[in-house]
């Protein structure tokens, strides 16, 4: 179906490159309820691998994007292409795990996140990250391309990547690349390697992702949880706050829709059981 006149205009107006269509919004969310939910979930499944806040966040984003299909899309080949399922790209820190990798970061792709229960997602994510740290990407496309690229001379690699990028954005081949990497959002969690900030407060971040290969429609960055004073029932209270940076492609939706998405995300994080059920099977 053809997009609205406004979307057509924005595809032209934010022709990328050279004009960046990405907008960043920064919020902080009280994760008291999320921590309580995870504690109960993990206590009830003693002896099994723990479900972390990152697992919970990714599961909620998948449900969020199912509620807001405008966000579960990306612009490739000059067209807005929606995804039927929610796929998530997860950058993997390779510096902190002593794996000996010469690369600083890897990339795990998890498909069909919205079809998985919370614990199934946690297991799939943990396995994908472990494979990435062993240098054995689970995603078939990455498993094919990464070792090949590592053995290719740089001058040849850059030329090949440029050719691949042009093919990915051509009207003829862009649907193929869209199917090979069905991912609309990247969730990165640099805050996981840091403890609470003493004497400092994280305020936010911003970025403008390049329009290369198979670009995503949004990037979500998480920082370390920090205690902040917020208003609860009209009175100041100290709460554990999760800073969230939300970067989205303005060609997909506007600022009002961004606000609705972030408000719904806050609701989900404050009461995960309402979305996933008390046992995470929803």
Segment 115-137, tens digit of pLDDT: 999 999 999 999 988 888 887 88
- pLDDT higher than 80, residue 141: no
101 — pLDDT class (breaks 50, 70, 90)? low
Query: 110: part of which helix (H) or strand (E)?
Result: strand 105-110
Give the per-residue pLDDT at 212: 85
The CA distance from 218 to 55, in Å, is: 18
In total, the chain counts a number of residues equal to 282
**Distance, CA of 123 to CA of 117 (rounded, Å):** 10
- What is the rounded average pLDDT of the residues 1-19? 80
- What's the average model confidence in pLDDT over 170-188? 89
CB atoms within 10 A of CB 179: 10
Which architecture, in CATH terms, is 5-224+266-276?
Answer: 2-Layer Sandwich (3.30)
- Would you place residue 62 in the very low, low, confident or very high pLDDT band (cuts 50, 70, 90)? very high
Given this model, what pLDDT does residue 98 score? Answer: 60
Please state, for a pLDDT cut of 90, what percent of the chain lies above it: 54
**DSSP at 90:** E
> What is the mean pLDDT of the segment spanning 92-113?
79
Which of 245, 238, 246 minimizes the C-alpha distance to 196? 238
Location of structure tokens 């990152």: 54
What is the maximum alpha-carbon separation in the chain? 62
d(CA 166, CA 157) in angstroms, rounded, equals: 14
Looking at the predicted structure, is the pLDDT value of residue 152 above 90? no
Whether the predicted pLDDT of 106 surpasses 90: no
Mean of all residue pLDDT scores within the chain: 89
Contacts of 238 (CB under 8 A, 6+ apart): 227, 228, 229
**5 or 187, higher pLDDT:** 187
Q: Which residue has the higher pLDDT, 194 or 44?
A: 44
- Residue 139 reports pLDDT greater than 80: no
Domain boundaries, the chain: 5-224+266-276
Which is nearest to 223 in space by CA: 207, 208, 201?
Answer: 201
Interaxial angle between packed helices 53-67 and 255-270, expressed in degrees from 0 to 180 and rounded to the nearest 10:
130
Q: In the beta sheet, which residues pair with residue 28?
A: 243
Q: What pLDDT score was predicted for residue 1? A: 61
Higher pLDDT, 22 or 200: 22
pLDDT-derived band of residue 96, with 50, 70 and 90 as boundaries? confident
Indicate the pLDDT class of residue 199, thresholds 50, 70 and 90.
Answer: confident
Task: Please check whether residue 32 is in contact with residue 240, taking contact to mean a CB–CB distance below 8 angstroms.
Answer: yes
Work out whether the CA dihedral 264, 267, 268, 273 comes out positive or negative. negative
């Amino acid at each position: 179906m053809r997009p609205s006149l406004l979307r057509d205009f924005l595809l032209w107006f934010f022709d990328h490159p050279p004009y960046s269509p990405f907008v960043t919004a920064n919020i902080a969310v009280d994760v008291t309820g999320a921590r309580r939910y995870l504690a109960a979930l993990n206590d009830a499944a003693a002896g099994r691998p723990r479900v972390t806040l990152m697992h919970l966040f990714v599961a909620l984003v998948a449900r969020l994007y199912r509620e807001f299909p405008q966000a579960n899309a990306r612009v490739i080949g000059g067209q807005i292409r929606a995804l039927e399922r929610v796929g998530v790209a997860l950058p993997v820190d390779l510096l902190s795990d002593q794996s000996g990798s010469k690369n600083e970061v890897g990339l795990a792709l998890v498909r069909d996140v919205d079809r998985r229960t919370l614990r199934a997602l946690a297991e799939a994510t943990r396995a994908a990250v472990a494979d990435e740290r062993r240098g054995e990407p689970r995603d078939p496309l990455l498993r094919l391309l990464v070792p090949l690229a590592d053995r290719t001379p740089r001058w040849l690699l850059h030329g090949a990547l440029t050719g691949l990028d042009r093919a990915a954005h051509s009207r003829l081949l862009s649907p193929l690349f869209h199917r090979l990497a069905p991912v609309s959002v990247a969730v990165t969690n640099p805050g996981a390697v840091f403890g609470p900030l003493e004497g400092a407060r994280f305020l936010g971040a911003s970025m403008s992702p390049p329009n290369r290969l198979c670009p995503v429609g949004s990037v979500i960055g998480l920082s370390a949880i920090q205690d902040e004073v917020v208003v609860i029932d009209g009175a100041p209270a100290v709460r554990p706050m999760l800073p969230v940076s939300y970067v989205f492609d303005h060609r997909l939706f506007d600022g009002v829709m961004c606000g609705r998405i972030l408000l719904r995300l806050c609701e989900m994080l404050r009461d995960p059981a309402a979305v996933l059920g008390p046992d995470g099977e929803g």
